[in-house]
């Protein structure tokens, strides 16, 4: 049975839990739910890293606005680091903006 948006919303609450509550939360998930939640969390982390880097390049304190193109290049570099080093992917495609 496929997960609904409500199911996913409930599952996503798990990423906001303190570490002491994670074991009980994860234990109630089946294998497919664990896999999906892991993939979604990885995607959120990579997207957050991209956005934070982009904003820092465009509006960060002290460096001035580096422009959209340079900000996207820098953000893709950070996103690549998160996906490859933190999550162990061999390669990743840059986001075209």
pLDDT in tens, 60-87: 777 788 889 999 999 999 999 999 888 8
pTM for the complete prediction? 0.72
26-53, pLDDT tens digit by residue? 898 899 988 988 888 888 899 999 999 9
Using alpha carbons only, how large is the chain's radius of gyration in Å? Answer: 17
Confidence class for position 8, pLDDT limits 50, 70, 90: low
Q: Answer whether 14's CB lies under 8 Å from 22's CB.
A: yes
- What are the helix (H) ranges across the chain? 5-12, 19-27, 31-59, 68-81
Measured CA to CA, the distance from residue 3 to residue 13 in angstroms comes to: 15
């Amino acid at each position: 049975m496929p997960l609904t948006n409500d199911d996913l919303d409930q599952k996503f609450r798990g990423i906001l839990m303190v570490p002491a509550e994670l074991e009980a939360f994860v234990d109630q998930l089946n294998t497919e739910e664990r896999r999906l939640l892991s993939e979604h969390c990885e995607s959120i982390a990579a997207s957050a890293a991209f956005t934070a880097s982009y904003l820092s390049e465009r509006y960060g304190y002290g460096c001035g606005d580096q422009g959209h193109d340079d900000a996207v290049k820098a953000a893709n570099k950070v996103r690549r680091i998160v996906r490859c080093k933190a999550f162990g992917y061999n390669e990743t495609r840059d986001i075209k903006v």
